[in-house]
Structure 1
Amino acid sequence: MLRVENIRKAFGGVVATNDLTMHFPKDSLTAVIGPNGAGKTTFFNQISGALRPDSGRILLEGKDIVGLPPTEIVRLGIGRAFQVSRLFKSMTVEESLRGALLSPLGKSLRMTGRFPLKETRDRAYEVMDQLGLTQSANIISGNLSHGDQKLLDMALALVLQPKVLLLDEPVAGMGPEEREQMIETVFALWKKGGLTLILIEHDMEIVFRISQHIYVLSYGRLLAQGTADEVRHNPQVIEAYLGTPKEEVA
């Protein structure tokens, strides 16, 4: 589904991603982890078109998307939810989702008209139902709880029916109950099928619980990859990121 080949991005003398090659099969759930500064967000920025790699290829279903505008990359099937939610904070949840649907079609003026496009309303409610936002349809987005704002940010990506969804720290800033609800929602969304999901996450309990495959970055390079058990017990990953459990310290 999605493959990156030897991508490199430098900012002056700092190499943020260094010769990265990764493969994300269709319908897979993959985590990308690593310490702060490892290059994770830069990696997402390159996939979504916010940054252009200095070299390398990013292939979506075999098509190289490097250099395409972010709007075109969205149309081809890559959606993204951000660590800090990017919302239309003066609009209701329903209006936000209808706006996201209509904007790529050049029909945003019809969004708040007396007779909104029926198909956009139906799709908006379909996604709200999926994410548990239906009861918040008429709430102004800026008045939502932190957890619901994160859900709406995800909904804005999902409403365009992406093939690949990038989730940047979906549980950041949440309390235990919100965090558990969010990860159950993410996992259920993936289990439904038809979506290749890639997440950046610092909560290792979540990463090890739901990920099929894990890539570990360190200083822009691929340090390790494998299943949860393989990564959890990898000496290089333990040293660079996970640390040694207290009970094992001599």
Structure 2
Amino acid sequence: MLSVKNLTKSFGGVQASRDISIDFPDGSLTAIIGPNGAGKTTFFNLISGAFPADSGQVIFDGQDIVGKSSLEIVRLGMVRAFQVAALFPSLSVSDAITAAVTSHQRRSAALFRSFPLEGTKTRVEEILELLGLASKAATLSRNLSHGDQKLLDIGLALAMDPKVLLLDEPTAGMGPDERWRMIGKVQHLWEAKKMTVLFIEHDMDIVFKIAQTIHVLKYGAILAQGTAAEIRSNQDVIDAYLGTDHHLAQAAGEQ
């Protein structure tokens, strides 16, 4: 489904991505981690078409998408939800998702109808139920809690019927309870839709709990990749990112 080969990007004299090669199997749940400045968001920007790569390939659904626009990539089925939610603040939750679903269906004229087209309402209701937002369907987007705004942003991404979903720090700015609620929704979404999900996350407890595979970036290059157990015990990752205290705390918890 998604394979990145020798992806490289420089900004002036700074090499932000250095020869990155990663395969993402269909239906996988993968975490991208690393210290600040490691190149995580740049990596997402490159594979989603926000930045053009200097060299390398991004093979998505059998074709190289390097050089395609973000809109073209979305239409192919790779969709991104951002760290800062991009919402329709003056619309209700239901109306915002209806607008996104209608736009994806390329029925722009239907936006001005009094009632959504057949099939649109069912799709909107499915997304609301999947994310636990059905009870807030009539709430204005701007009046949602921070966590629910992030869920709505994911809902807008789901309206594009993605094959691959990119989540850029889905729990950023949340308290502990809200973080676990969010990540539970992400895991439920992944299990229910069987889509490929890539997420950037700084909370290692979350990463180690749900990610099937973890890729660690440092200075724009792959430092390590493997399962949670492999990453936790990797000395290079401990030195560069996790720190000895986290490693000792994890070891104590396993005893």
Query: TM over 0.5: same fold?
Result: yes
TM-score category by the smaller chain? Answer: over 0.9
Matches within 5 A, 1:88-103: 88-103=88-103
Cross-structure match for 2:153:
153
Query: Hey, what's the Cα distance between the residues in 2 that align with 1:91 and 1:112?
Result: 14
Cross-structure match for 1:223:
223
Q: Structure 1 length normalisation: TM-score? A: 0.96
Query: Hey, what's the Cα distance between the residues in 1 that align with 2:239 and 2:19?
Result: 22
Unaligned runs of 5+ in 1: none
Deviation at 1:104, TM superposition (A): 3.8
Query: Hey, what's the Cα distance between the residues in 2 that align with 1:61 and 1:95?
Result: 31
Deviation at 1:194, TM superposition (A): 2.2
Moved over 3 A (4+): 246-249
For residues 167-221 of structure 1, give each alpha carbon's deviation from its aligned partner in whole angstroms, at most 9, with x where no partner exists: 1111111111111111111111112242001000000000000011000000001
Identical columns (%): 55
Matches within 5 A, 1:36-55: 36-55=36-55
Matches within 5 A, 1:22-171: 22-171=22-171
Cα pair 2:232 2:247 within 8 Å, conserved: no
Give the count of matched residue pairs.
Answer: 249
Cα pair 2:104 2:159 within 8 Å, conserved: no
Query: Hey, what's the Cα distance between the residues in 1 that align with 2:247 and 2:39?
Result: 31
Query: Hey, what's the Cα distance between the residues in 1 that align with 2:109 and 2:144?
Result: 25
SS at match of 1:111: helix
Tell me the C-alpha RMSD between the 2 structures. Answer: 1.5
Query: Hey, what's the Cα distance between the residues in 2 that align with 1:25 and 1:156?
Result: 24
SS at match of 1:80: strand
Cα pair 1:95 1:112 within 8 Å, conserved: no
Cα pair 2:110 2:117 within 8 Å, conserved: yes
Q: Structure 2 length normalisation: TM-score? A: 0.94
SS at match of 1:153: helix
Counterpart code for 2:207: V
Query: Hey, what's the Cα distance between the residues in 1 that align with 2:248 and 2:175?
Result: 28
